[in-house]
Structure 1
Amino acid sequence: MTTPTHAPPFPPAKIYRLSTAFWHSKVILSASDLGVFAQLGEGPATAGELADKLGVQSSAFPVFLDALVAMDLLERDGDRYRNSAEADYYLVPDKRYYMGTYLGFVDRFMRPTWEGLSEVLRTGKPQIPHPPQQDAPEGEGAEFFEQTYADPNLQRMFIEAQDALSSEIAWELSRQIDWSRWTKIVDLGGARGNVAGILLQAHPHLTGTVFDMPPLEPLFAEHMARLGVQDRARYQGGDWFDDPLPEGEALLCGHALHNWTAEQRRTVISKAFDAVRPGGAFMVYDLMMDEERSRLNPLLLSLAMTLSVGGSGYLGSECREWMREAGFVDIVAVPLKDYDGHTVVIGRKPM
């Protein structure tokens, strides 16, 4: 190795930033776990007052709070802290779009899963490392969902985490798609109906059916009542591959195809074609990769699916081709304006 005789031409800024990105995520995850946002939801407080109420003893707690201020999650006025507008809206329990359960899911399952990335890339096999709780789900693909849904506590955690991810997308779908063309929608793999419920809230002429695994039906009924659309929504439990899909004028499939192989995706899309009424539409929304594979979030999602359930991401052009093969026509891709930049691919079934 030669000895350098001059300073580096540029600093390793990206390497520093990316190698410590977990510092940022762990601060917000710990703040939610400790109850910082929940406590400040009751009003501003000093570091000492917060520490007393939360049972925190570390002398580093004020620094921890100041880090949250620097991250724009808290605000400080003198020696008193309060939630930022975003934290107050999304991280205080019992609020409609509360994301604290999602943060718990990230910390408990998603973060440990990524620690196995090197091994998954070496072996080509999904591995799901997780904290040593007795009730942590194991397995891959369908087994992961079956085991997660079999435990009521894990079931609720997982579903509330999915709601946190889907709410923004649902409102974008409600605004960017012309729903006046249809009266009956079906959400395939719709969990407890968060997307369908928001669409029914936004468009009172719609009725909806949610299709997912049978154990979720009680959570569906509870959530539809909370959203005030229970009289226009129904649930149908079943299996994607073994059971016929519910019929409707417009079928949605979101955040599902990335769980499976390309052949399984073709099977589901073909079954969706059979279930769409003539003249109706089928929509797939997901964080799809662009042709140049240049957008980071879809690439990271693809890795996450490989790690957790053995699936993968896919290109928007691949989705359009699968729909064309199934018989759909007039296929278009509509970019949504959500934070991550999802895409919805829409195809029409000929009359």
Structure 2
Amino acid sequence: MSSPSEIADPTTLYQVRDGVYAPDLLIAAVVNLDLFTWIERQGPVTEAQISAGLEVATRPLDVLLTYGAALGLIERQPSGVISLTDLARQQLVADSPLSLHAYYASLAERPAVGELTDVLRTDRPAAWASARTGGSGAGWSQRLDDVEFARGITAAMDARGVFLGPALAAAVSDLPATSILDVGGSSGIYACSLLAGRPAARGTVVERPPVDVAARLLLAERGWDSRVDVRSGDIFTDPLPQGHDLHLYSQVLHDWDEPRVRHLLGASYAALPPGGWMVDHDAHIDADKRGPLANAEYSVLLMHSTVGKCWSIGELALFAADAGFENVSYRRTVAHRGALVAQKPLT
């Protein structure tokens, strides 16, 4: 695999793709919720008050407020109080002399605006990529049962790993892992990246059918099938395999809600040996939930199409500690990604 220094930086291309739904969420907030007018009239409010007052679900509201804060439209205080910035007050409040409300309303018929409004109201994800034909209106997770869709998603996740994988490997090269479990690892490209610098180590990818078939094919094509095996299973109903001293979640936790994220971290804690490591590689939100903008935009896509979001560093650190992990740290990599690292106590 090439190192990141040998590849022209594709961060902008990641951001364009990952942020594709973000403008539609802002249109929905301005026009269908009239969020900024409501906050201005209520005065400083809490998330709970916004949720109740506008009948918006907690998860998508959190994504919306993070995106608004990253855009410089919302002040999000550590106390939980929400208020508007001057930019939002002047440009997005309906009765402001400078209001762009009508300007945004002219695009309110975009299909994704309606989809995101429904997600805000119901907390139910929309169809992946807003697909409408060929029986593909099912949610992302359900569509993974379709062989062709699973192959396409696996190839998509594999494509970004060519750049992201080596940077992740460099960030965690000090962890003394001899056996890596890539949980929900898709093609296994991240496990391979970590193993490239550990010639004596081996790896296992845990994936559900039919993604497991695509993973085996891609590993064989790259010549990694002798060092990385694929275990078929459901990461939520089957216990995680034991015998691995590093569990890797690479852009997996962002697909799931809090109960299932906590379940996975607890399952890793149970399966790891004392002193073992858990690594969550992802596009994380800052602990104060005010950015970075690229990850706030990506979180909108995840909110639209999955039951997850981009989790904040603070949230994941809390979940990891609650599971029993210690020595939690954060290491930045490339393309607005990073690795949250935690260790199971030695005793």
TM over 0.5: yes
What residue is the counterpart of 2:341 in the other structure? 346
Summarize the alignment of residues 260-271 of structure 1 with structure 2, pairs less than 5 Å apart: 260-271=256-267
Q: Distance in 2 between matches of 1:118 and 1:252?
A: 34
Structure 2: which amino acid aligns with 1:158? Answer: I
- Pick closer, same or farther for the CA change 1:226–1:200 going to 2, 3 Å: farther
Contact (CA 8 Å) 1:252, 1:282: kept in 2 or not? yes
* Equivalent position SS for 2:311: coil
What residue is the counterpart of 1:252 in the other structure? 248
What residue is the counterpart of 1:238 in the other structure? 233
Structure 1: which amino acid aligns with 2:130? Answer: H
What residue is the counterpart of 2:293 in the other structure? 296
What residue is the counterpart of 1:177 in the other structure? 172
Contact (CA 8 Å) 2:125, 2:303: kept in 1 or not? yes
Which stretch shows the higher mean deviation, 122-131 or 298-307? Answer: 122-131
Contact (CA 8 Å) 1:170, 1:198: kept in 2 or not? yes
Is 2:283 aligned against 1:287? Answer: yes
Is 2:269 aligned against 1:273? Answer: yes
Is 2:308 aligned against 1:308? Answer: no
Residue 181 of structure 1 and its aligned partner are, at CA, apart by 1.2
Residue 288 of structure 1 and its aligned partner are, at CA, apart by 0.9
What residue is the counterpart of 1:31 in the other structure? none
The alignment yields a C-alpha RMSD, in angstroms, of 2.4
What residue is the counterpart of 1:153 in the other structure? 148
Structure 2-normalised TM-score?
0.63
Is 2:118 aligned against 1:119? Answer: yes
Q: Distance in 2 between matches of 1:114 and 1:169?
A: 31
Q: Distance in 2 between matches of 1:113 and 1:210?
A: 34
- Pick closer, same or farther for the CA change 1:180–1:240 going to 2, 3 Å: closer
Q: Distance in 1 between matches of 2:214 and 2:234?
A: 18
* Equivalent position SS for 1:318: helix
Q: Distance in 1 between matches of 2:177 and 2:292?
A: 33
What residue is the counterpart of 2:71 in the other structure? none
* Equivalent position SS for 2:277: strand
Residue 222 of structure 1 and its aligned partner are, at CA, apart by 1.4
* Equivalent position SS for 1:230: coil
* Equivalent position SS for 2:275: strand
Is 2:138 aligned against 1:138? Answer: yes
- Pick closer, same or farther for the CA change 1:131–1:218 going to 2, 3 Å: closer
- Pick closer, same or farther for the CA change 1:347–1:284 going to 2, 3 Å: same
Q: Deviations over 1:186-220 (max 9, x none)?
A: 00010121211232334322200001113222222
Structure 1-normalised TM-score?
0.62
Residue 145 of structure 1 and its aligned partner are, at CA, apart by 2.3
* Equivalent position SS for 1:150: coil
Q: Distance in 2 between matches of 1:145 and 1:117?
A: 18
Structure 2: which amino acid aligns with 1:117? Answer: L
Figure out how many residues of one structure are paired with residues of the other and give that number.
237
Residue 282 of structure 1 and its aligned partner are, at CA, apart by 0.6
Over the matched positions of the two proteins, sequence identity in percent amounts to 26
Out of 306, 330, 335, the position equivalent to 2:332 is: 335
Q: Distance in 2 between matches of 1:306 and 1:241?
A: 20
- Pick closer, same or farther for the CA change 1:114–1:178 going to 2, 3 Å: farther
- Pick closer, same or farther for the CA change 1:137–1:125 going to 2, 3 Å: closer
Is 2:167 aligned against 1:190? Answer: no
Residue 280 of structure 1 and its aligned partner are, at CA, apart by 1.3
* Equivalent position SS for 1:279: coil
Is 2:211 aligned against 1:216? Answer: yes
Structure 2: which amino acid aligns with 1:127? Answer: A
Residue 310 of structure 1 and its aligned partner are, at CA, apart by 2.2
- Pick closer, same or farther for the CA change 1:137–1:183 going to 2, 3 Å: farther
Q: Deviations over 1:140-179 (max 9, x none)?
A: xxxx3242x3322222111111112223221111112125
Is 2:164 aligned against 1:165? Answer: no
Larger relative contact order (Cα-Cα within 8 Å, sequence gap ≥ 6): 2
Residue 122 of structure 1 and its aligned partner are, at CA, apart by 4.2
Which stretch shows the higher mean deviation, 207-216 or 130-139? Answer: 130-139
Residue 134 of structure 1 and its aligned partner are, at CA, apart by 0.9
> Which consecutive residues of structure 2, in runs of 5 or more, have no partner in the other structure?
1-15, 21-109
Structure 2: which amino acid aligns with 1:121? Answer: L
- Pick closer, same or farther for the CA change 1:112–1:187 going to 2, 3 Å: farther
Residue 112 of structure 1 and its aligned partner are, at CA, apart by 7.0
- Pick closer, same or farther for the CA change 1:112–1:151 going to 2, 3 Å: farther
- Pick closer, same or farther for the CA change 1:254–1:137 going to 2, 3 Å: farther
Is 2:198 aligned against 1:203? Answer: yes
Contact (CA 8 Å) 2:203, 2:229: kept in 1 or not? yes
Is 2:321 aligned against 1:324? Answer: yes
